[in-house]
């Protein structure tokens, strides 16, 4: 991906900027009920054409308060997404999100590598000092993966009738 002209390469993954060709898989993942459950969301119900119009607008008019990236395996297969958003330069913090949408890549360290790669980039090239996230209380697999990346559980948070674990990592 081109973030300041750089493609971010980890041990197993490459993080790159979003392309229009990513929309089809992204749509499928957003419509998947199992993936939506892990994100405390509902599967999207809009048509692909409606989704594509929104996706195109996000590519054309990116927000200065978020960065959305595609995760590719070493063979360039699109396997997921990661992002950081709610960027707050005063507090020097942002929230991190990740989805390994291709279930064939679950449990093999791709998500952990993507998070490590993204954190390395953020902490070495931006003024951000803290990254945080919210994961569902019952999603122990995700919590373990985030702990491998240095995140520490700080508290539980209730939102929309669900309990989340708030986790954060500070720049070393």
Q: Residue 165: name the closest of 141, 121, 42, 44 by CA.
A: 141
User: Do the Cβ atoms of 140 and 167 come closer than 8 Å?
Assistant: no
In a domain, 169, yes or no: no
At 23, which CATH number? Answer: 3.40.630.30
Domain span at 54: 8-130
How large a percentage of the chain has pLDDT more than 90?
92
Number of domains making up the chain:
1
Cα–Cα dist 102/104, whole Å:
5
**Confidence band (pLDDT; 50, 70, 90) for 7?**
confident
List of residues 6+ apart from 95 with CB closer than 8 A: 84, 85, 86, 131, 132, 133, 134
Residue 166 within a domain: no
pLDDT > 90? residue 90: yes
Report if residue 115 sits inside a domain. Answer: yes
pLDDT in tens, 112-121: 999 999 999 9
Domain assignment present for 93: yes
Residue 1 pLDDT level (bands cut at 50, 70, 90): very low
For residue 98, tell me if it sits in a domain: yes
């Amino acid at each position: 991906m081109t973030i300041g002209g750089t493609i971010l390469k980890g041990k197993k993954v490459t993080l790159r900027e979003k392309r229009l060709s990513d929309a089809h898989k992204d749509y499928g993942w957003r419509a998947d009920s199992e993936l939506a459950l892990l994100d405390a969301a509902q599967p999207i119900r809009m048509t692909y054409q409606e989704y594509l119009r929104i996706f195109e607008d996000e590519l054309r008019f990116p927000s200065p308060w978020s960065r959305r990236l595609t995760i590719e395996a070493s063979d360039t297969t699109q396997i997921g997404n990661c992002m950081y958003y709610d960027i707050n330069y005063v507090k020097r913090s942002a929230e991190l999100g990740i989805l390994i949408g291709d279930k064939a890549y679950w449990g093999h360290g791709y998500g952990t590598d993507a998070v490590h790669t993204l954190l390395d980039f953020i902490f070495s090239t931006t003024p951000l000092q803290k990254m945080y996230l919210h994961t569902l209380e019952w999603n122990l697999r995700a919590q373990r993966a985030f702990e491998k990346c240095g995140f520490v559980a700080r508290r539980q948070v209730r939102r929309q009738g669900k309990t989340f674990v708030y986790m954060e990592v500070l720049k070393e």
